Structures are given as structure tokens and as C-alpha cells.
Amino acid sequence: MKFNTKTIHAGQEPERTTGAVMPPIFQTSTYAQEAPNVNQGYDYARVGNPTRTALEKMIAGLENADHGICFSSGVAAIDAIIRMFRPGDHVVASNDLYGGTYRLFTKMFEPFGITFSFVDMTNLDNVQDAISKKTKLIWIETPTNPLLRVVDIAGVIEIAKKCGALTAVDNTFASPYLQQPLDLGADIAMHSTTKYLGGHSDTIGGAVATSSPEVEENLRFQIKTTGAVPGPMDCYLVLRGIKTLSVRMQRSVENAVQIVDFLKDSPQVEVVHYPGLPSHPQHNIAKKQMRDFGAMVSFSLKDDSIEAANNLMSRTKVFTLAESLGGIESLISHPATMTHGSIPKNVREKAGLFDSLIRLSVGIEDADDLIDDLKQTLNR
């Protein structure tokens, strides 16, 4: 099956007792058993639920994986992945990480003795230099947030294979429509399904795709033991969202391209970050490993101040000022004060994250309306 067909059919079949074409929301905590331990594959809903199973099979299908495992949130999925490791183990991660991932690694796991090195992965030498005998995992996030840098996934995997470490890719920003890490050799693809997979800003969820039986077994044991499970309603919403993933992504990307075109010629704009621009430093890697360049865009202003950014953001009428991304509606946000507010200014600026940097998650509205919205606020 090709990708668009999979978003509708992967792992899905009509429900057995009624023939319902859509998977019912099995809102139950437990299941009747014919005799102790004789059941129809489900005994207790922390361990499994048919609506969740339908989503897990779909996630596996989209990522070309043998297994999908769903969690109550994206960070719960990341938490479970890191709990596969033990005190003394070492993880190499991108230095340009989702803030919640960075917080989880440094505030939750470092005190328990797992160590982390954060490196600029756009230069593979940095990855190689960070490897030690204790390195068990390389954690990749690409494209990165909010500067949309691109990491060469195959290049990092080559390094990981040589030292025997696993590789995990946070594929939230790209979605499997644009990028399939397992096909490039990664062991794990991870998603915040809250974003593009759910696609409608109405649910929180996480997922892992893997073809490794050991990883699958470990994560299933954790789900059963620690209980970070998504409810059936949330699984249903993500499954429903995935059905339109391809058309939503296509439209969002088309809109993003037009917005980038407008922004790069705007006299008030200093620089536009978008992997689709030939001037983007990793444009060729993006071209190689992504089907298209995505719908996340960021830009900074000639007037590099928080006030200038605030003025712009408070005047948009179609773009909503909010955190998160990947929904049908366009969002605008200010990394320096919102998602990356806890990073000191000099550290931020060294990485290129200036005060006036503005991030857009481009939705599926009409591009003309989105551009008019930016025009009216830039020209004031």
C-alpha cells in the first residue's frame, strides 16, 4: 500500500460484531472473560483497548514499522523510551530540542544517573565526538524547533551503528507524511500525536513506532506497569485525524511555501528559516530525507526586539497566538518568551534564536488570507 491509502486503511478492519466501518470508542475499563485467563485478547484496559489497538496498527503502518505503541502524551512516550536505559548509560541528543524533552532529560533522568550530551547535530563530527563507551542511545529531532535546522538522519545512524547505540527520531515536526526515519535505519520513530497526526488541536497523545521486538516488549511492559495510556476517545480522535493527514499536510505545505515567498521579500523581515529555501544551510539534506519541506516557518525582524515581535503577534486576526503546532488552524508564537523563555538570552542568541524570532505553524486556510493577515500587521 502507498502512503495515502495507508492513512485510511493501515491495520483497519470493520468491527467484528456489527460490521461498523469506523472503529468504535470502546469506553470500558475491563472485559468479560469466559474463564480465568480465557479472553478475546483483552483483559484490562490499562494493558489494551481495541480503539487503541486500531490506532497502534495505523501508526505502525504509517512508519513502516512492525509495532506501534501509544501513550497518553508525547512526553510520556519519550519518558518510556529513556526508561529502557539504566544509571550510567549515556545518551547523545540534539542541542536544539523540544523544550519539554530537554526538561525531561535534565530534570527527571539526570538525577537518576543517566547522562546526556547535547550537541549541534548539523555537524556530524559533533555527534562522533560525543560518543563514549557508555553511549546507548542517540536522540534526533529534525527539523528542529524553532529554527528549522535539519539533521542528517542517515549520517547519524551510521555513527550509531558503529558504536552499537540505538537511534530514536522525534518525528513530530515532519509527520510520517514527510519523513520516515525507520526507512533510513532508525530503531525508533516517536510522535507527539497532539500535533500533525491528531491535526485538529483537540487532543493530547504520543506514539512510538519500532520494528525491534526488544523495544516493543520493553515499552509494552512499561505501559502495563506505569500506566501512561491514552483513553479510547483520544485514540479515536487521533485515528480520525490521521485519515486526512495527507491532504492537510499538502495544503499546509503549499500555504507555507507562499508565506515564505511573501516574507522573504518583506522589507521588515531580517531572515526567514525554512528548509525549502535553497539558502537554508541543510537544504540538500532536507531534500534527500523529506518528501517536502513542511509547514513550520520562522522569521526574525529587522527591528530585533521583543516589543516589535509582540506588536506583530498581537495584531494578527487569522493567525492565533498560541503554543503547539500541526493543527488545521494557523498559529503564531514567540519562542524567546514562550517555548524557549527559560533559556538565557546570550545562549539563545548564540544559537540564532533572537528576540524578534516569530514561529508560524501554517494551517489549511486560504493562503491569501494568511498573507493579508501578515501584511496588515507588518505594514503598521
Catalytic residues: 46, 98, 170, 195
Q: Which is nearer to ligand PLP, 23 or 206 (CB)?
A: 206
Using alpha carbons only, give the angle 250, 251, 256 rounded to the nearest 5 degrees. 100
Q: Does 52 bind ligand PLP (CB under 6 A)?
A: no
Q: Does 51 bind ligand PLP (CB under 6 A)?
A: no
Q: Does 73 bind ligand PLP (CB under 6 A)?
A: yes
Measure CA 304 to chain center: 29
* Helices 367-378 and 245-264, packing angle to 10 deg: 30
Q: Does 235 bind ligand PLP (CB under 6 A)?
A: no
Q: State the Cα–Cα distance between residues 135 and 75, nearest whole angstrom.
A: 22
Burial class from Cβ neighbours inside 10 Å (0-12, 13-18, 19+) for residue 179 reads buried
Q: Does 255 bind ligand PLP (CB under 6 A)?
A: no
Q: State the Cα–Cα distance between residues 25 and 253, nearest whole angstrom.
A: 32
Burial class from Cβ neighbours inside 10 Å (0-12, 13-18, 19+) for residue 321 reads middle
Burial class from Cβ neighbours inside 10 Å (0-12, 13-18, 19+) for residue 86 reads exposed
The 8-class DSSP code of residue 238 comes to H
Residue 177's identity, in one-letter code, is Y
Q: Does 75 bind ligand PLP (CB under 6 A)?
A: yes
Measure CA 55 to chain center: 17
Q: Does 359 bind ligand PLP (CB under 6 A)?
A: no
Q: Does 231 bind ligand PLP (CB under 6 A)?
A: no
Q: Least distance in Å: CB of 136 to ligand PLP?
A: 20
Q: Does 172 bind ligand PLP (CB under 6 A)?
A: yes
Q: Does 348 bind ligand PLP (CB under 6 A)?
A: no
How far separated are the first and last CA of the chain, in Å rounded?
50
Q: Least distance in Å: CB of 253 to ligand PLP?
A: 17
Q: Least distance in Å: CB of 90 to ligand PLP?
A: 21
Q: Per-residue contact track with ligand PLP, 263 to 302, x per CB under 6 A?
A: ----------------------------------------
Candidates 118, 173, 236, 354; binder of ligand PLP (CB under 6 A) is: 173
> Given the rule CB under 6 A, which residues bind ligand PLP?
73-75, 98, 100-101, 141, 145, 170, 172-173, 192, 194-195, 204, 206
